Amino acid sequence: METLKIYNQLKSVPDSALREIQAGRLRGKSDINPQWRYERLTEVFGPCGFGWKFTIDKQWTESYSNGEVACFVNVSLFVKHEGEWSEAIPGNGGSMFVANEKNGPYVSDESFKMATTDAIGTAAKMIGLASDVYMGLKNKNIPNQTKYPTQNNPVQDEKPWLNKSDFDKAQEYLRNGGKLEVIKAKYRISKEMMENLNQVINQAIK
């Protein structure tokens, strides 16, 4: 078997599968659409369950002294090549289950799903999936493509969370025709506040 054949088939990522991260320490970097990962694995190996598959080997949470809780998932990825299934390709992923925010703890009901998605992506890296992104190779149409820090692509500082005082100002700003993108560019916004801001926009349109 040509050792880099599969790796080279999987390493490139189209612009349409990259999304710029808008907030947090990774702001300005790019995230990879997980559905594109599944599509690419299907293109190369066949449908999930027939040409590639995964097992969830372990799920657990870790609690921290500040009250936050993170969840983690271990998976094994398997791919079929030339009629034979591979050995297990391990991957670990994590996500926040309970995160401290300005308005109090935020509990995510999708944390294990996100951790599983992360774990599959980690395992798939081992066979080259999206390796151009992880190696920091630039796409000419998307600056700072990788979310991993490199010498020419350092991690940026976090934006502040939108607090109650600024939230009231943001609502008034939107009622007067302001743009939500301006607020998002300046602040990290909790899910609850984002829903309220969208309601303000909808009411302004009516």
pLDDT of residue 79: 97
Task: Count CB-CB contacts under 10 A for residue 201.
Answer: 14
Residue 112 shares a structural domain with residue 67: yes
Six-digit token pair at 174? Answer: 């939107």
- CA dihedral of 3, 5, 7, 9, whole degrees rounded to 10: 180
- CA dihedral of 134, 138, 139, 141, whole degrees rounded to 10: 130
At 204, is the secondary structure helix, strand, or coil? Answer: helix
Residue 146: phi and psi, rounded to 5, are -80, 145
Q: Is residue 103 part of a domain?
A: yes
> Of the given ranges (71-85, 132-146, 159-173), which has the lowest mean pLDDT?
132-146
- Asked whether 138 and 145 are in contact (CB, 8 A), the reply is yes
pLDDT of residue 41: 97
Domain boundaries, position 189: 164-205
Beta bridge partners of 139: 142
Residue 11 shares a structural domain with residue 110: yes
Model confidence at 206, pLDDT cuts 50, 70, 90, reads low
At 198, is the secondary structure helix, strand, or coil? Answer: helix
pLDDT of residue 114: 94
pLDDT of residue 76: 98
- Asked whether 167 and 141 are in contact (CB, 8 A), the reply is no
> Which residue stretches of 52-190 are H helix?
111-125, 131-134, 164-175, 180-186
Q: Is residue 141 part of a domain?
A: no
Residue 129 shares a structural domain with residue 169: no
The residue among 134, 150, 174 that closes a domain is 134
pLDDT of residue 121: 95
Whole-number Å distance between alpha carbons of 19 and 115: 18
Residue 22 shares a structural domain with residue 72: yes
pLDDT of residue 26: 64
Model confidence at 198, pLDDT cuts 50, 70, 90, reads confident
Whole-number Å distance between alpha carbons of 24 and 176: 28
Q: Is residue 113 part of a domain?
A: yes
Measure the CA angle with vertex 20, ends 45 and 56; round to 5°: 40
Six-digit token pair at 108? Answer: 């995510």
Model confidence at 155, pLDDT cuts 50, 70, 90, reads very low
Question: Regarding predicted confidence, which is higher, 196 or 138?
Answer: 196
Question: Regarding predicted confidence, which is higher, 76 or 134?
Answer: 76
Counting the structural domains of the chain, the total is 2
pLDDT of residue 202: 83
- Say what the pTM is: 0.64
- Asked whether 122 and 92 are in contact (CB, 8 A), the reply is yes
Model confidence at 62, pLDDT cuts 50, 70, 90, reads very high
